[in-house]
Amino acid sequence: MHSRNKHKQGYHFESLVSALPALSKYTTVTPRGDTSIDFTNKAAVKALNKALLKHHYNIEHWDIADEFLCPPVPGRADYIHGIADLLANDMDIKHKNIKGLDIGTGANVIYPLLGCSEYNWHFIGSDINLKAVKSAQTICSANKLNVEVRHQTNPHFIFENILSSADVLSFSMCNPPFHSSEQAAQTGTARKWKNLKKAPPKSLNFGGHAPELWCEGGELRFIKTMIRESKLYSQQCGWFTSLVSNKDNLQPLKKALKTVQPIEIKVIKMAQGQKQSRFLAWSFMTQAQRRTLHN
């Protein structure tokens, strides 16, 4: 994990239970004698997230409906720290005017929560699901965070309908839906349950609703749309970024980027244990232009 990731040494359950006593009913002792939880139990995972956010990030109020994705906090934190490293070449990463756009922020609004806590950044969050937008707004309001959550009314757009000509961003970020269809998402979920040696529940859509898990064309088409639209907002955003879950998508995405001619393209690698991940970043501005973006 990233050197600044607060979870690189694992979970300290004694501290987490102290922060959220309700977590204690979900803790178990592994055969090795370590404290853990059953990560196939949605209630346990949600309680763990509440404890992590409260103990490490001073997020006192966080809750989501069962239909929504419950995100793994450590991996999400790595993306935030990776963006901070990207910005560090241009400006002080705790500059008072740094503002990001989280595309598809979801009901859990996890990236703005982490970015606000770790770096005091400002955020716009967007989502196509009105119920998710309202959930995110409730969380941000309850924690008095500088986050504005906007509803994307047209699922074919990424930046259009969300950004006005007055919006100036240091970066945008996105964890795009991975699967290309509902059937592919269900197959992937069933495979995870099989790997866990658990019988799948009646609903295979475990921990996530449709727009969080799949879209037509999957992450490749989604990011290609983002690349195409980013050209229209090239002077309003210092860095455009997106997670790329499938490394085989990097080459076609780099090819798509050539058509819009950004000045810089970077692939930032991340790793959480055995899992390898990365995000793609591109900019239409020079470093000097990005440095003066918020002056």
Domain count, the chain: 1
- 3-state SS class at 60: coil
Judge whether residue 181 has pLDDT over 60: no
**2 falls within a domain:** no
**45 falls within a domain:** no
Contact between 99 and 122 (Cβ < 8 Å): yes
User: How much is the pLDDT for 273?
Assistant: 67
Judge whether residue 189 has pLDDT over 50: no
List, edge to edge, every strand of the sheet that includes 264-272. Answer: 147-151, 122-127, 99-103, 169-174, 237-243, 275-283, 264-272
User: How much is the pLDDT for 29?
Assistant: 93
**4 falls within a domain:** no
Contact between 26 and 36 (Cβ < 8 Å): no
Average per-residue pLDDT in the chain?
Answer: 88
Beta bridge partners of 100: 123, 171
What ranges in the chain are assigned the alpha helix state H?
Answer: 13-19, 42-57, 73-88, 110-119, 130-142, 182-195, 210-213, 218-230, 250-260, 287-291
Domain that holds residue 83: 63-291
**126 falls within a domain:** yes
Give me the percent of the chain exceeding a pLDDT of 90. 76
Contact between 99 and 116 (Cβ < 8 Å): no
CATH code assigned at 93: 3.40.50.150
Please state the rounded mean pLDDT for residues 226-250.
97
**183 — pLDDT class (breaks 50, 70, 90):** low
Pick from 13-17, 95-99, 104-108, 181-185: least confident:
181-185
Contact between 101 and 172 (Cβ < 8 Å): yes
**213 falls within a domain:** yes
Judge whether residue 120 has pLDDT over 90: yes
**26 falls within a domain:** no
Judge whether residue 279 has pLDDT over 70: yes
Please state the rounded mean pLDDT for residues 233-247.
96
Q: Retrieve residue 240's tokens.
A: 């455009």
Beta bridge partners of 108: none
Q: How many CB atoms lie within 10 A of CB 138?
A: 17
Please state the rounded mean pLDDT for residues 265-283.
89
How do strand 237-243 and strand 275-283 relate by DSSP bridges? antiparallel
- For residue 108, CA distances in Å to 15, 129, 214 come to 23, 12, 17
| Tens-place pLDDT, residues 40-74 | 999 999 999 999 999 999 999 999 999 898 999 99
**7 falls within a domain:** no
More confident residue, 49 or 273: 49
Contact between 259 and 231 (Cβ < 8 Å): no
**24 falls within a domain:** no
User: How much is the pLDDT for 215?
Assistant: 55
| Tens-place pLDDT, residues 11-25 | 999 999 999 999 999
User: How much is the pLDDT for 293?
Assistant: 84
Contact between 175 and 213 (Cβ < 8 Å): no
